[in-house]
Amino acid sequence: MAEVLSQSQIDALLNAARSGEMDLNRSDQDSEKKYRKYDFYSPRKFTKDRIKMISGIFENYTRIINSRLNGLLHTTSDIAVESVEEQRYYEFSNALSDGDVLTLADVDVDGKRESDETPVLIHLSTGLVLNMMDRLMGGDGDETSNIRAGYSFTALELKLYEDIVKDMISILGGSWENYINLDFSFRRVESNPTLVQLIGLDETVVIISISLKLPNVSGRMSICLPGMMLTNIFTQIAAMNQVGRGSGEDNSENIMGILRDSQLQVIAELGRTQLTLQDIYSLNVGDVVDLGHPTKEPVSLYVGGQPWFSGKLGTQSGSMAVKIWETYHVQAREEE
C-alpha cells in the first residue's frame, strides 16, 4: 500500500521544489546503482589480479606499437587500452561481420608451441586498416567514412594487411617478457570469420579492446586470448615463481664455481719510498734504491687492490717468490 503523506510533508515537498533544493527531473531509477549480472552457470576463471596483470601487459604493448606505427606510417597516433574483459567466445564472434578479416596467431612458450587448436585471434577495423594501407603506400590517409558495409578486401589489400599485422604480432611477445618468454607468430588471415570454428562458442576467452586514433580516422583493435591458453601460461608463471623463491641455496654453488675460475691480479709489495724527480733522473744501471723495508720483515700481498696475505721473500727454482705466512682478517683489511 502506498504511503499517505501528511499535509505538513506535502508543504515541505512543495517548498523544496520552489526553492530548487529538489530536482523534479531526476527519476528514482537514476539514483539506483546498476550492477552487472553474474552468471552462476559459468563462473569466472580468472581473478581480478589476473585481469589487471593482462591489462598492464597490453598497456605496455600499446606503448610499443605506438612508436612502431609512428615510424612505419610517418604520422602520430594515439593508442590506448579501452577494456580487458573475460567473456564467452560468442561475444567476440557476434561482433564480427561477413566482410571483416580475422588474423590467427600461434603462441610459443619457451620455444614450445602452446597449442595448434587455440590460436590468438586479432581483428582490426576495416576503415582503420585501409587508412594504414594508404599511408603505407605513400598517401595522406584519406578519410574512410564512406566505406560500404561488408567491404571485401582485394588480394593486394590482403597482402598489405598481412604485412601490417605481422609487424604487430612480432612485437607482442615483448610485452610479456617481465613474466614469461612468449613468442607470437603469424599463422594466417581469414577473410570470412564465420568459417573460423577453432574455439567453441561457450569457451572462456579474454577480449582486449584497444583504440587506435590516427589524424583523420579512428578504429579499434580487438585481441581474443583463449582461456585454456591463458590458464597454461599462468600455471607456468606460478611454477617459475615457486622455483625462483626456493633456488637460492642451489645457485650459491654455481656462483662460487664461476668465481673460482675468475682471474685476479696478485701484487707483492716489497716496500715504499719517495724519490725526487732529480734523484730518478740521476739513476743509472747498478744503483740501489732503499725501500725502507728490512729483509726479515714480512711483505704484503694484495689481491684486487686489497691486502689479503702476508709472506716472506725468497726464491724458488731460480725465481723470486713469496711464501705466505698468514691471512689478514676482514676487519684488518677494511682498516688498511
Task: Report the C-alpha gap between 308 and 330 in whole angstroms.
Answer: 8
| Residue 85 CB contacts under 8 Å (≥ 6 apart), including other chains | 51, 206, 207, 209
What local confidence, expressed as pLDDT, does residue 181 receive? 87
Helix (H, G, I), strand (E, B) or coil at 33: coil
C-alpha dist (Å) from residue 289 to 265, 281, 293, 322: 25, 13, 11, 20
Q: How many helices (H) and strands (E) does the chain have?
A: 10, 11
User: Looking only at Cα atoms, what is the longest distance across the chain?
Assistant: 126
The closest of 323, 303, 325 to 313, measured between CA atoms, is 323
What local confidence, expressed as pLDDT, does residue 1 receive? 42
Tell me the whole-structure pTM to 2 decimals: 0.60
The closest of 78, 18, 110 to 221, measured between CA atoms, is 78
Domain 48-241: CATH superfamily, name plus number = CheC-like (3.40.1550.10)
| Multiple choice CATH, 263-282+291-335, 3.20.20.70, 2.30.330.10, 1.10.3720.10, 3.30.70.100 | 2.30.330.10
pLDDT in tens, 205-231: 999 999 999 888 888 999 999 988 888
What local confidence, expressed as pLDDT, does residue 58 receive? 93
Instruction: Give every residue of the chain whose pLDDT is below 70, as ranges.
Output: 1-5, 17-43, 110-117, 143-146, 196, 243-250, 329-336
What local confidence, expressed as pLDDT, does residue 289 receive? 84
Where are the domains positioned within the chain? 48-241, 263-282+291-335
What local confidence, expressed as pLDDT, does residue 25 receive? 55
